[in-house]
């Protein structure tokens, strides 16, 4: 299951229901093609559904309407285990809240996906994790990752996302905690990944990242403008 053709969102609708049974439409009729080789920026006000869209593209949030297609695979129709396997093989995710394991150190976090990879040796992936952390200038300190700065943690999250060299990179505000220089560098990394043929989708408020995007999609109240 490789994502040679990128990703397609077809008329996606996502509704959340709160504990009192009130429902809220977070995405409505979102259709977009995310092709290999392109860096797409998704912008829009807070609460407009950007993270929800990214999570729907990764099969983390399941739409009530429409579908997410990756080649012949309709991601939202896969059973949960198949969806998890598809995501592991295809998606590098950078979450808005990082989702690092606080008690592990930077390398421990960056190398985490290796334990689910049956094909590559752990030693090779450990070296790759070290290389990625060095490239993003994360200090190689032992001790809990929670002690690193937010910007350092953000770069650990990016290293983890890239560990298995996924064809799809879905990044939620990947430069939000970075200073101007680091933000620029990470934006250029994402640009280079797209140039190398990856499908890169980045939710962002960052003008530097938007400037490097091939295309900018704007969400407002769950709809693409």
Tell which one of 47, 139, 143, 197 touches ligand ATP (CB under 6 A).
Answer: 47
179's tokens: 């200073």
Contact status: 16 vs ligand ATP (CB under 6 A) = yes
The tally of CA atoms less than 13 A away on the side-chain side of residue 13 is: 10
Residue 79 beta carbon to Mg ion: minimum distance, rounded to whole angstroms: 27
Helix (H, G, I), strand (E, B) or coil at 144: coil
For the chain, give the number of residues.
225
Binding partner selected for residue 174 from Mg ion, ligand ATP, none, CB under the kind-specific 5 to 8 Å limit: none
32 contact partners, CB below 8 Å, separation of at least 6: 8, 9, 40, 217, 224
Q: Which helix (H) or strand (E) holds 133?
A: helix 122-135
Q: Which x/- pattern over 26-45 shows residues binding ligand ATP (rule: CB under 6 A)?
A: x-----------------x-
In contact, 78 and 87? CB cutoff 8 Å: no
In contact, 100 and 145? CB cutoff 8 Å: yes
Contact status: 51 vs Mg ion (CB under 5 A) = yes
Q: Which is nearer to ligand ATP, 48 or 90 (CB)?
A: 48
Contact status: 76 vs Mg ion (CB under 5 A) = no
Contact status: 51 vs ligand ATP (CB under 6 A) = yes
Contact status: 220 vs ligand ATP (CB under 6 A) = no
**Which residues in this chain contact ligand ATP in the complex, by CB under 6 A?**
16, 24, 26, 44, 46-52, 96
């Amino acid at each position: 299951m490789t994502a040679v053709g990128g990703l397609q969102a077809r008329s996606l609708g996502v509704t959340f229901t709160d504990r009192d049974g009130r429902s809220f439409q977070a995405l409505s009729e979102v259709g977009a093609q995310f092709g290999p080789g392109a860096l797409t920026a998704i912008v829009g006000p807070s609460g407009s559904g950007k993270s929800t869209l990214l999570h729907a593209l990764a099969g983390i949030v399941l739409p009530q309407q429409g579908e997410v297609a990756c080649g012949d695979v309709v991601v939202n129709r896969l059973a949960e285990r198949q969806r998890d396997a598809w995501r592991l093989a295809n998606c590098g995710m950078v979450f808005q809240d990082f989702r690092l394991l606080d008690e592990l150190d930077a390398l421990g976090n960056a190398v985490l996906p290796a334990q689910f990879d049956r094909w590559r040796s752990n030693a090779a992936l450990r070296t790759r994790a070290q290389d990625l952390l060095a490239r993003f200038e994360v200090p190689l300190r032992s001790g809990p990752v929670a002690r690193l700065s937010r910007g350092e943690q953000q770069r650990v999250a990016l290293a983890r996302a890239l560990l298995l060299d996924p064809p799809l990179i879905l990044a939620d505000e990947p430069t939000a905690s970075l200073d101007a220089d680091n933000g620029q560098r990470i934006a250029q990394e994402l640009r280079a990944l797209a140039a190398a043929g990856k499908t890169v989708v980045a939710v962002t408020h960052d003008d530097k990242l938007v400037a490097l995007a091939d295309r900018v999609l704007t969400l407002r109240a769950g709809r693409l403008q």
